[in-house]
A and B are shown apart, each in its own frame.
Chain A
Amino acid sequence: MSRSRKQHITDKAMRLLLVGAASASVLIVCLIFLFLFKEAGPFALKPGLGKLMDSQWIPVSFQEEHFGVGPLLSGSALVTALAMLVTVPISVLVAIYIAEIARPGEREFLKPFIEILASIPSVVLGFFGLLVVAPIVKTFFGLSTGLTALTGALLLSLMAIPTIISLSEDALVSVPYALKNASLALGASHLQTIFRVTLPAALPGIVAAVMLGIGRVIGETMAVLMVTGNSAILTASPLASVRTMTATIAAEMGEVPFGSVHYQALFWIGIILLVITFFLNIIAQRVLKKYGMMK
């Protein structure tokens, strides 16, 4: 009797422990949201949220300060879009080559390089960007400075490419052999089979890979801080200097007076970033669900 009672209590305790562990992640997300809003909150009352719509970001000024996130948002969007434009085609083609065309020997040779690329710290890539990529961009386009959105995008591509390649490759490899055989048996060539059967069947996985890549790129700070030139201007030109949201937070957080309006504005940038990645995640999951890759 008492033994089964003891058993019962142990069960209960164990269950509580596991539920607690599982809830911790939910709790942490909530706390982060709460914390961000607590720090950023007063801004909504004092200068008002309308201040974030200013067309300029001039947080320190003797006349009037401007906290317009538009230029930073456009900087992030521009760098991310450019990076994806470069990354997605390259990554998908490389993934196709590794998964479907390369001979086993070539595969063994290629994969370690891609893995090494994934493990390079972003600061080191930043050095590479400053010393190698920026001068190339500068001379190639005849600019006065090589620190541009394009330079940042190229570096971010280097970071996103390995992730997208390996996830896309997984998606391609996991397409059942039966489908490829069905296509070949109908007289399709190897390439027709890849582009009409294997690639569409792997598409949800590839989309998820790209979403993860965007997530990584939009949140990346160090490399873009080093090579995009950090001028907060509203532009769509790949060859202009821009400043991203992440770089702004990283650059200004260290010297901003605690609790000031500027400090709060930086927290609003953080909130906006969080909301963007949140929606990216939701979109990615919708896509996966639609194609039946997730329950």
Chain B
Amino acid sequence: MVEQSLYPNYPQDLEMVITASQVDFFYGATQALFDISLLIPAKHVTALIGPSGCGKSTFLRCLNRMNDTIPHSRVEGEISINQKDIYTPDTDVVELRKEVGMVFQKSNPFPKSIFDNVAYGPRIHGEKDPRRLAEIVEQSLQQAAIWDEVKDRLHANAMGLSGGQQQRLCIARALAVGPKILLMDEPASALDPKSTMRIEDLIGELRTNYTIVIVTHNMQQAARVSDYTAFFYEGRLIECDATPKIFTNPRQKQTEDYITGRFG
């Protein structure tokens, strides 16, 4: 149900998997998001850009309810994934987070072996068969393009990997649960340029099977990896469109100012 008036540059048959309508978010008395309505298409990469504190990460964390862990926080409005409201009282947060994986800004592997890191998700969801676990681990590591580097030391501690490898391991760990959607919160901002490139290549490969929402403050990165881009500013969604359109011919003056580097 793409509303052509709002998204004139989206293909009409684009399937939308996440629907946010009129979302407000509060940290205590401070409102961080104002009336966000945004559609996110399936099996594409959507980038959320904007200056620091614009609410893009907050919005991202609303999508798998990670904000639940923050005391005194509150969400209003509606967010649906596959037409199911994820903020109803009977929402199973465990199921939601299986469906919607997350990769954090700073790589955060557990202080366990590489194997145990990737197997963590399947194990907590009840997978016990060692052969099946080994399969999942190999598959996930291959998908995250790190299998060749670690296949000979699966039982070495993950903390011994380089920063870039750790981040790809975290991506593998997220994939091992079998999500349909991957949320990435500035996944490459703490990495060197070469590792960043590998992560971006990886996002390019994953987009065929996963819906990816990526927060980035790096506009070149958004331009390189995403199909659609949403621009946030001061807690509001200013504009959302096909990425080439946003970067060449935005409709809003604020978007243009931001992407041309006039502020932010």
| Residues of chain A from 238 to 256 with CB closer than 8 A to chain B in the complex | none
Q: Give the interface size bracket for A toward B.
A: 10 to 19
Q: Which of B97, B98, B101, B124 contacts A196 (CB 8 A)?
A: B124
Q: Are B120 and A185 in contact (CB under 8 A)?
A: no
Please tell me which one of the listed residues A178, A181, A186 contacts residue B177 in the complex, with CB atoms under 8 A apart.
Answer: A186
Chain B residue with Cβ nearest A203: B111
Q: Does B204 contact A (CB under 8 A)?
A: no
Those of A243-289 within 8 Å (CB) of chain B? none
- The verdict on B1 contacting chain A, using a C-beta distance below 8 Å, is no
B94 lies within 8 A of A182 (CB): no
Nearest chain A CB to B213's CB is how many angstroms away?
Answer: 14
> Per-position contact with B for A166-189: 1 when CB-CB < 8 Å, else 0?
000000000010110111111111
Q: Output the least CB separation between A294 and chain B (Å).
A: 15
Give the Cβ gap from A173 to chain B, nearest Cβ, in Å.
15
Q: Is B124 a contact of A192 with CB atoms below 8 Å?
A: yes
Q: Is the CB of A184 within 8 A of B110?
A: no
Task: Let me know if A185 and B110 touch, CB within 8 A.
Answer: no
Contact residues in A for B104 (Cβ distance below 8 Å):
178, 181-182, 185
Find chain B residues with CB under 8 A from A186 CB. 97-98, 101, 120-121, 124, 173-174, 177
Q: Is the CB of A184 within 8 A of B120?
A: no
In the assembled complex, the CB of A23 is this many whole angstroms from the nearest CB of chain B, namely 37
Q: Which residues of B contact A189 (CB under 8 A)?
A: 94
Bound form: Cα–Cα A181–B94 in Å:
13
Residue A90 is within 8 A (CB to CB) of chain B in the complex: no
* Given A178-B104, A179-B108, A197-B110; A185-B124 close (CB under 8 Å): no
**B215 in the interface, Cβ–Cβ < 8 Å?**
no
The closest CB in chain A to the CB of B92 belongs to: A187
Query: B93 contacts which chain A residues (CB < 8 A)?
Result: 187
Chain B neighbourhood of A196, CB < 8 A: 120, 124
A interface majority secondary structure: helix
- In the bound complex, how far is the Cα of B104 from the Cα of A184, in angstroms? 12
A165 to B21, CA, bound (A): 47
Q: Closest CB of chain B to A207's CB: distance in Å?
A: 15
Any chain A CB within 8 A of the CB of B220?
no
Given contacts A185-B102, A187-B121, A189-B94, contact A178 B111 (CB under 8 A): no
- Whole-angstrom distance from the CB of B128 to the nearest CB of chain A? 14
For residue B174, which residues in chain A have a CB less than 8 angstroms away from its CB? 185-186
Given contacts A185-B97, A187-B95, contact A178 B110 (CB under 8 A): no
A201 and B96 CA atoms in complex are apart in Å by 26
Are A178 and B108 in touch, CB under 8 angstroms? yes
- CB-defined contacts of A188 to chain B, threshold 8 Å: 94, 120-121, 124
Contact A182 B69 (CB under 8 A): no
Which residue on chain B has the smallest CB distance to residue A201?
B111
A182 lies within 8 A of B66 (CB) = no
Minimal Cβ-Cβ distance residue in B for A178: B108
B177 to chain A, nearest CB (A): 6
Cβ contacts B66-106/A at 8 Å (1 or 0 each): 10010000000000000000000000011111100110101
Taking the closest CB of chain B, its distance from the CB of A244, in whole angstroms, is 38
**Which chain B residue has the least Cβ–Cβ distance from A180?**
B69
A122 to B121 Cα, complex, angstroms: 48
Query: Taking CB as reference atom, which chain A residue is nearest B159?
Result: A292
10 contacts between A and B (CB under 8 A): A182-B108, A184-B66, A185-B101, A185-B102, A186-B121, A187-B98, A187-B121, A188-B124, A196-B124, A201-B110
Residues on A lying within 8 angstroms of B by beta carbon are 176, 178-179, 181-189, 192, 196-197, 200-201
Q: A182-B110, A188-B120 are in contact. List 11 more A-B contacts (CB 8 A).
A: A178-B104, A179-B110, A182-B109, A182-B170, A183-B124, A185-B101, A186-B101, A187-B125, A188-B121, A197-B110, A200-B112
What 4 pairs between A and B have smallest CB-CB spacing? A178-B108, A187-B97, A185-B102, A186-B121
